Structure 1
Amino acid sequence: MTDQAHAKSGTLVLGVGNTILTDEGIGPWVVERLRELNPEAPGVNWMDGGTLSFSIAASVEDAEYLIVVDATELKSEPGTVKVFVDAEMDRILSQHGRSVHEVGLMDLMNMARFAGMMPERRALVGIQPEIIGWGTEPSARVAAAVPEAAQAVADLIKAWTGQDIRVPAAL
């Protein structure tokens, strides 16, 4: 099945991470805060992707637009937020060790690519972790990055769909 034969719709905002490993859980926390503020945003599917599984492949393939929020090794100060769009996202995922979930996320993207069902636009909102260890709360520096990461998601949705999304002031 190719993109032309498969109707795609909406924006999938996918938070990736393990919420019992401190900063590793920042993706799901950002997405959950956005969902709480925008529970009925037309055409937006807020999804906690956890530590990824192939069960979400169909959601990725069905999305017209994909935004992934994840703790990412950026070689920057903890709490730094960077956005990688389209080919930049592909490049960052293909570089070994750049994302905590790089193998699983790259596998999902390759499944969609090989099936001819890649989202029309895609982006990774990466947040530099400080601490990856047992704990159910992010470090202070990473928690402070939540509004910036949420704003990056909102800016992408606005640019791609014209839709305004409310962003949280804090985690």
Structure 2
Amino acid sequence: MTNAGTLILGIGNVLMTDEGVGPEVVRRLESALGPSESLVFMDGGTLSFTLAGPIGEHPRLIVVDAAALGESPGCIRLFEGADMDHRLRTQARSVHEVSLSDLMDMALLSDTLPERRALIGIEPQVIDWGERLTPEVESAVPRAMRLVESVLARWDSEP
């Protein structure tokens, strides 16, 4: 672990309507916050084993992704630390080559699991071909951005 700060990782396929909400939140956050030595913004696409390296290089990780929460479209939930780990193990389903749970397991086995980690899940409305978020999920983007910023502020204030 290089202690390079926080990796903010957006996961999802931007060609599949609301599936692309994670990368969209991260793109807008990067634009709003600007360059920073302590923050690394990354579009993780649809996940691959190549993400294990960047995840393991940072002591803090925030993942933003579309998530089936069983809530109304645009609902946002924060899962942190052990809650994130539990969510990934028990409820996460992935249509990708590799799941976020697989990447967290790799980090754990290689002793590079970020000390602080959070998953921000956003309930999608539509997962189908399309390059735009639905209005319900689009309205969640600014709220998700504020949630990322509040997690960062809290982590920065804690020892």
Q: Which TM-score applies when normalising by structure 1?
A: 0.87
| TM-fit CA distance, 1:99 | 6.1
User: Which residue in the other structure is 1:116 paired with?
Assistant: 111
- Count of aligned pairs between the two proteins: 157
| TM-fit CA distance, 1:37 | 1.2
2:78 pairs with 1:83: yes
Contact 2:74 2:139 in 1 (8 A): yes
| TM-fit CA distance, 1:46 | 0.4
| TM-fit CA distance, 1:103 | 5.1
Deviates more, 1:59-68 or 1:99-108: 99-108
2:125 pairs with 1:130: yes
Q: Identical aligned pairs, as a percentage?
A: 45
User: Which residue in the other structure is 1:27 paired with?
Assistant: 22
Contact 2:55 2:114 in 1 (8 A): yes
Q: List per-residue Cα deviations over 1:87-112 (Å, max 9, x = no partner).
A: 00001101244566695111110000
User: Which residue in the other structure is 1:16 paired with?
Assistant: 11
Q: Secondary structure at the match of 1:57?
A: helix
Ranges of 4+ aligned residues in structure 1 off by more than 3 Å: 96-103
Q: Secondary structure at the match of 1:133?
A: coil
User: Which residue in the other structure is 1:149 paired with?
Assistant: 144
Runs (5+) with no aligned partner, structure 2: none
Amino acid at match of 1:36: S
Q: Secondary structure at the match of 2:64?
A: strand
Deviates more, 1:153-162 or 1:15-24: 153-162
Give the aligned CA root-mean-square deviation in angstroms: 1.6
2:45 pairs with 1:50: yes
- Which of residues 42, 63, 70 is equivalent to 1:68? 63
Separation (CA, whole Å) in 1 of partners of 2:74 and 2:58: 28
Q: List per-residue Cα deviations over 1:96-154 (Å, max 9, x = no partner).
A: 44566695111110000000111010000000000000000011000000011111110
Contact 1:93 1:102 in 2 (8 A): no
Q: Secondary structure at the match of 1:152?
A: helix
Amino acid at match of 1:128: E
User: Which residue in the other structure is 2:154 paired with?
Assistant: 159
Contact 2:47 2:98 in 1 (8 A): no
Amino acid at match of 2:22: G
Q: Secondary structure at the match of 1:50?
A: coil
Amino acid at match of 2:90: Q
Q: Which TM-score applies when normalising by structure 2?
A: 0.93
